C-alpha cells in the first residue's frame, strides 16, 4: 500500500529560508530531507532555539511524496553517496534537481517501505542509546522499527528508524445526510455492509486496506498470511463490493463533500483538515481497530556524518518526542506523535484533547490496531488474485 500525501498549502513555507544560517565550513551541519508539512515550520525554529546558541547550519528540504523520498534513497545508493550530477542519465520521477544534490543525514520514510529499504541496503541502523525519550515510547512503536537485517520485525534486531508521527485508516461520513435520513452513524467496519448504505460508499483502491478491513470485521488480522483459513472471506468481499459506488485512493474526498457518497474509507491525514474547516463530515476510529502507519526518520546508507552531526541527528530525533513538542507536532501536522499515549493527556491543548483521531482510546490503538507488515511473496500473490476476482463481480 502506498499512502497518498495530500499535505500541501499554507504550510509550504520554505524551510531552508526559515532555517538558513551562516554557511561557514566550521559549523556543525544537519541535512534532513522530509515529507512536506510533516513537521510544522514553527517547530523548526524551536529546535534551533533548543540548541542554546550553538552555531549550526540546519538544512531542511521538503518533498511532496513519500515515494519520492524512497526513490531518493535508491538514487543516492546507486551513486555511492556522491552528489547527483547536473545531467543524471536516468530520469528520476517526482524529484526536483535541487533535492537530489547531496545525501541527507536523515530522511522521512513511510513504514511501508522500511523492509525494502533494509533489504536493498538503502539505510543504516540508528543508535537509540542517546535518545532520552526512546524507552518512553509505547512498545508498539519501538517494535515496528526494530528489525532483522532482512527487514522483518525482530525484538532482538537493530533499530532501523525513529517514528515521529502516525495516522490511521478511518471511516468518514456525511453527518448531515445521516441526520436528515435518520441513519445511525457508522462506528465499525461491519457498518459498511448495511443495506441502508448500499451504493453510497467509496473504498480505497488498495488490496491490503480493503481485504484487511474485511478480515478485521471477522476478528482476524490485517496481516493474515493464509487467506484460505478464512473461508467466508471471498463471499464477504463480494458482498462488500455490491455496496461500493467506486474505489479511489486519490479522489474519494470530493464526492463525499458533494454528497455523491455518504461514507468513505480513507486516511486520517485527509480527514482532519476537512473537519477543521467545518465541513459536514465526521470521521471515526473503528471500534475493532484499524490499520495504522508511521512516518519515520531513517539514516541513509550513504551518509557518513562527522561526530558533531551525529549528535545533532540524535538531538533532532529526541526533540520530536519531547512532551513540549509532541502535542504541537500533532496539532499542526494532522498526524499524531507516537509518544502522546505515554504522556498525560490533561496537559495537552484543549483542541488536541477532544480530537479522537489524534488521541484515540489507547486500548484501541495499541491492542486492536495493526501496522501492515511485510508478507511472503506467495501471500502477496494470493491477495492480488483475490482482489481481482471479487472486483470482477458486477
| CB proximity list for 179: less than 8 A, separation 6 or greater | none
pLDDT band, residue 89 (cuts 50/70/90) = very low
pLDDT band, residue 27 (cuts 50/70/90) = low
The string of DSSP codes covering 41-95 is HHHHHHHHHHTTT--EEEEEEEES-HHHHHHHHHHHHHTTTPPPPTT-SS--TT-
Predicted pLDDT at 83? 61
Q: Is the per-residue pLDDT at 90 higher than 60?
A: no
* pTM of the complete model: 0.86
Predicted pLDDT at 52? 84
Say which residue the cell 530531507 belongs to: 33
Average pLDDT score, the chain: 88
Mean pLDDT confidence for 369-380: 93
| Residue 234, number of CB atoms within 10 A of its CB | 17
Burial class from Cβ neighbours inside 10 Å (0-12, 13-18, 19+) for residue 176 reads middle
pLDDT, tens only, 140-167: 999 999 999 999 999 999 999 999 999 9
| CB proximity list for 84: less than 8 A, separation 6 or greater | 75, 92, 97, 100, 101
Q: Is the per-residue pLDDT at 387 higher than 80?
A: yes
Predicted pLDDT at 85? 57
Beta strands in the chain (DSSP E): 28-35, 56-63, 106-110, 123-124, 146-147, 158-159, 162-174, 201-203, 244-247, 263-267, 281-284, 291-300, 370-371
pLDDT band, residue 81 (cuts 50/70/90) = low
> Among 29-43, 189-203, 356-370, which is the least confidently predicted range?
356-370
The string of DSSP codes covering 113-136 is GHHHHHHTT-EE---GGG-TTGGG
Q: Which residues of 178-189 are buried (b: 16+ CB within 10 A; e: fewer)?
A: beeeebeebebb
Burial class from Cβ neighbours inside 10 Å (0-12, 13-18, 19+) for residue 39 reads buried
Predicted pLDDT at 208? 97
Predicted pLDDT at 17? 42
Mean pLDDT confidence for 170-182: 97
Mean pLDDT confidence for 276-297: 92
Q: Is the per-residue pLDDT at 216 higher than 70?
A: yes
Round to whole Å and give the CA distance between 270 and 7.
8
Round to whole Å and give the CA distance between 36 and 11.
8
Round to whole Å and give the CA distance between 207 and 372.
11
The answer to whether 204 and 373 have CB atoms below 8 angstroms apart is no
Which residues is 263 bridged to in the sheet?
173, 201
Round to whole Å and give the CA distance between 165 and 141.
10
Strands 162-174 and 263-267: antiparallel
**Share above pLDDT 70 across residues of the chain, in percent, rounded to a whole number:** 86
Q: How many residues can be counted in the chain?
A: 394
Q: How far is CA 112 from CA 70, 144, 150, 160, in A?
A: 10, 10, 14, 13
pLDDT band, residue 304 (cuts 50/70/90) = confident
pLDDT, tens only, 91-136: 444 445 445 568 899 999 999 999 999 999 999 999 999 999 999 9
pLDDT band, residue 7 (cuts 50/70/90) = very low
Q: Is the per-residue pLDDT at 21 higher than 50?
A: no
User: What domains are there in the chain, each with its CATH number?
Assistant: 15-166+294-360 (3.40.190.10), 167-291+373-391 (3.40.190.10)
pLDDT, tens only, 323-374: 999 999 999 999 999 999 899 999 999 999 989 899 887 666 678 999 999 8
Q: Is the per-residue pLDDT at 205 higher than 90?
A: yes
> Among 43-57, 151-165, 226-240, 353-367, which is the least confidently predicted range?
353-367
Amino acid at each position: 500500500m502506498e499512502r497518498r500525501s495530500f499535505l500541501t498549502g499554507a504550510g509550504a513555507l520554505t524551510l531552508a529560508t526559515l532555517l538558513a544560517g551562516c554557511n561557514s565550513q566550521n559549523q556543525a551541519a544537519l541535512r534532513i530531507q522530509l515529507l512536506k508539512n510533516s513537521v510544522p515550520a514553527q517547530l523548526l525554529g524551536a529546535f534551533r532555539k533548543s540548541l542554546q546558541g550553538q552555531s549550526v547550519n540546519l538544512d531542511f528540504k521538503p518533498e511532496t511524496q513519500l515515494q519520492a523520498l524512497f526513490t531518493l534513497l535508491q538514487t543516492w545508493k546507486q551513486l555511492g553517496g556522491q552528489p547527483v550530477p547536473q545531467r543524471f542519465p536516468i530520469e528520476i520521477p517526482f524529484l526536483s534537481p535541487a533535492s537530489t544534490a547531496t545525501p541527507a543525514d536523515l530522511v522521512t520514510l513511510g513504514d511501508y517501505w522500511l523492509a525494502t529499504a533494509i533489504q536493498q541496503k538503502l539505510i543504516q541502523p540508528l543508535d537509540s542509546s542517546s535518545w532520552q525519550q526512546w524507552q518512553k515510547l509505547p512498545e508498539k512503536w519501538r517494535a515496528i522499527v526494530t528489525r532483522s537485517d532482512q527487514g522483518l520485525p525482530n525484538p532482538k534486531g537493530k533499530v532501523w528508524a525513529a517514528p515521529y508521527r502516525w495516522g490511521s485508516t478511518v471511516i468518514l461520513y456525511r453527518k448531515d445526510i445521516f441526520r436528515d435520513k435518520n441513519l445511525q452513524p457508522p462506528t465499525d467496519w461491519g457498518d459498511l455492509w448495511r443495506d441502508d448504505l448500499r451504493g453510497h460508499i467509496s473504498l480505497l483502491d488498495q488490496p491490503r486496506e480493503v481485504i484487511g478491513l474485511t478480515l478485521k470485521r471477522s476478528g482476524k488480522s490485517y496481516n493474515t498470511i493464509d487467506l484460505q483459513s478464512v473461508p467466508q472471506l471471498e463471499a464477504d468481499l463480494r458482498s462488500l463490493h455490491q455496496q461500493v459506488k467506486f474505489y479511489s485512493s486519490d479522489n474519494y474526498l470530493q464526492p463525499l463533500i458533494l454528497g455523491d457518497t455518504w461514507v468513505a474509507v480513507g486516511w486520517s491525514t485527509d480527514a482532519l483538515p476537512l473537519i477543521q474547516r467545518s465541513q459536514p463530515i465526521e470521521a471515526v476510529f473503528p471500534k475493532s481497530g484499524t490499520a495504522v502507519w508511521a512516518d519515520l526518520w531513517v539514516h541513509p546508507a550513504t551518509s557518513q556524518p562527522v561526530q558533531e552531526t551525529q549528535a545533532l541527528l540524535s538531538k533532532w530525533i529526541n526533540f520530536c518526542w519531547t512532551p513540549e513538542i509532541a502535542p504541537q507536532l500533532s496539532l499542526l501536522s494532522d498526524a499524531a506523535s507516537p509518544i502522546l499515549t505515554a504522556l498525560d493527556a490533561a496537559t495537552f491543548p484543549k483542541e488536541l484533547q477532544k480530537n479522537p483521531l489524534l488521541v484515540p482510546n489507547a486500548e484501541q490503538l495499541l491492542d486492536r490496531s495493526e501496522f501492515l507488515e511485510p508478507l511472503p511473496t506467495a501471500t502477496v500473490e494470493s491477495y492480488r488474485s483475490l482482489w481481482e476476482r471479487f472486483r470482477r463481480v458486477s
